[in-house]
Amino acid sequence: MRARRARTFRLCFVTAALLCQGSCARNPVTGGRQLALISEGQEIAIGRESHPEIVAEFGIVEDQALQSYFSGIGLEIARVSHRPELPWTFTVLDSPVVNAFALPGGFIYLTRGILAHMNNEAEMAAVLGHEIGHITARHSVTQISQQQLLGFGLGLGSIFSPTFRRLSSLAETGLAIMMLKYSRDHERQADQLGIQYMAQAGYDPSQMSRFFQLFVGMSAGEGDAIPDWLSSHPAPPDRLETTAAAAEKIRRENPGRQYKINADPLMAHIDGMVFGENPREGFVQKNRFLHPDLRFQLDFPQGWAVRNTRSSVTFAAPGEKAVMQLTLVSPTEAQTPEAAGAAVARREGIRLMDGSSLRINGNAAYMGRYRAQTDSGTIEILAAFISYGNNIYRLAGMTPTAAYSSYAQPFESSMRSFRELSDARILSVQPDRIRIYRAQKGQTLRSIAQAQAPTRTTLEELALLNRLDPDQALSANAPVKLIRPGR
């Protein structure tokens, strides 16, 4: 067995070497050779085909002026990059998570969560420059190529993780790529490129290290539908010192040059922006999920975790031994609950065990039990298709067949709890919003927070949001971000 294993590893090494010889491209940034099993055309296609998936999952901030403003700054920086010819696309996502990320081919995303923590245009330029650097250096292409190379060496497709299993095609890869973590070497290079690009576009390069101070002491979030900056961008330990030194070097080499910071334009665009979770798109009260915009509510088992995105709501049992997911049935898929249930049974690998039509709190519905064969074994699915308003809702509970008896009752109980939301107080709930206050000379964040009550955050949270010492004396007309209840 040991000799056979050695031959296998030698074969893998030879295969990898041959593939590398035929699939190394010249890096647009360094000019050196780079492993790339994906051509530039495929790289652009991945980004272009993934973009609708990202937008559908998280939504975009419905503010055309903000989107145009953000895109304008992004294009300004992309034009001075190593790959100005890419079809650059810049989008602000409607997510409270603090993050920014890039997809191959020039597609860059920034969440309103990270935007809320920015104090000027130069900080935005720093984040954009960093993400543009990931694309110009083809970092995600390198990661994907390494995974594909590993697949060729050990049996294509057999050892791909779920993250990479879909990368053999160009469709539906956006969420998988978004979850990739860059290496620290990639992060260092993206920082250096970002500083170079923002300075060439006329922005103060020292603002990169100042913005990165936001993340000092923050812990990476785990398990979110969209990762935060720290979980998707592992930070080199010396990031602050290195970026500050690089900025100082640029300033020394360009004596007398004036760089832009531009706080007021950014503040004008984020004034009134939603802050934190938007309850209009669904929120949790105890073990009840309520959706004011779609006017429905349902109960879920006590202790289950909830992940809410634009395209789905997922309820996970402790240890994720069972999950339920609520989605909308596409009108092209089915027009009635019965047709929606039949459509599932026609899918490859899924068998309808039993099902029947019923009414759930006055709404026409179909409930079916299905059995599906997956790579990891047989799973049991209880699904309810509920006609409500102008939509058909699919609520599916899934667990391994062996555990189904433990979860069948909680699944069905949740499905039967789906009903109209009629509480006027909940139907009228509004999100919190950022409001820009202009300080009087000598005021402090502490005195402003006290005078401008009610504000929806603690003094410590306001200090982090504005990156101000609570007792720091402010200059006249200095902008201060406050969080106001929605109206």
The conformational region for residue 94 under phi > 0 = left, psi -120 to 50 = alpha, else beta, is beta
Name residues of the chain where pLDDT drops below 50. Answer: 1-23, 35-36, 148-172, 222-223
Task: Kindly list the distances between the CA atom of residue 11 and the CA atoms of 8, 34, 150, in Å, as whole numbers in the listed order.
Answer: 5, 22, 12
Helix then strand count (H, E) for the chain reads 18, 19
The residue whose two tokens read 């900080």 is: 123
Q: Where are the beta strands (DSSP E) in 264-390?
A: 274-275, 283-285, 288-291, 296-299, 305-308, 313-316, 323-328, 350-360, 363-374, 377-388
Tokens found for residue 75: 């294009």
- Indicate the CATH number of 294-427 among 3.65.10.10, 3.30.460.20, 3.10.450.50, 3.40.1000.10: 3.40.1000.10
Both tokens assigned to 165: 């299993």
- Which residue ranges make up each domain of the chain? 12-270, 294-427, 431-484
- Given this model, what pLDDT does residue 295 score? 98
> What integer pLDDT is reported at residue 469 of this predicted model?
96
Retrieve residue 251's tokens.
């300033």
Q: What's the confidence (pLDDT) of residue 64?
A: 97
Q: How many CB atoms lie within 10 A of CB 349?
A: 8
Is 387 within 8 Å of 337 (Cβ atoms)?
yes
Q: Distance of CA 53 to CAs 154, 157, 232, 320, 427, Å? A: 30, 23, 19, 24, 29
Give 432-465 pLDDT, tens digit per residue: 999 999 999 999 999 999 998 777 789 999 999 9
pLDDT digits (tens, 9 = 90+) for 118-127: 999 999 999 9
- Report CA dihedral (29, 35, 38, 39) to the nearest 10 degrees: 50
Report the sign of the C-alpha dihedral through residues 463, 203, 186, 110, in that order. Answer: positive
* DSSP summary character for residue 431: -
**Phi and psi dihedrals of 390, rounded to 5?**
-105, 15
Predicted confidence (pLDDT) per residue in 351-386, tens digit: 999 999 999 999 999 999 999 988 778 999 999 999
pLDDT at 39: 79
433 and 484 Cβ atoms separated by less than 8 Å? yes
Both tokens of 390, joined, read 């102008």
Phi, psi of 361 (to 5 degrees): 50, 45
- Rounded to whole angstroms, the Cα distance separating 404 from 94 reads 36
- Run of H or E including 185: helix 184-200
pLDDT at site 146: 54
Tokens for 282? 């669904």
Residue type, 482: L
Nearest-angstrom CA–CA distance, 28 and 105? 13
The answer to whether 148 and 40 have CB atoms below 8 angstroms apart is no
| pLDDT value, residue 182 | 81
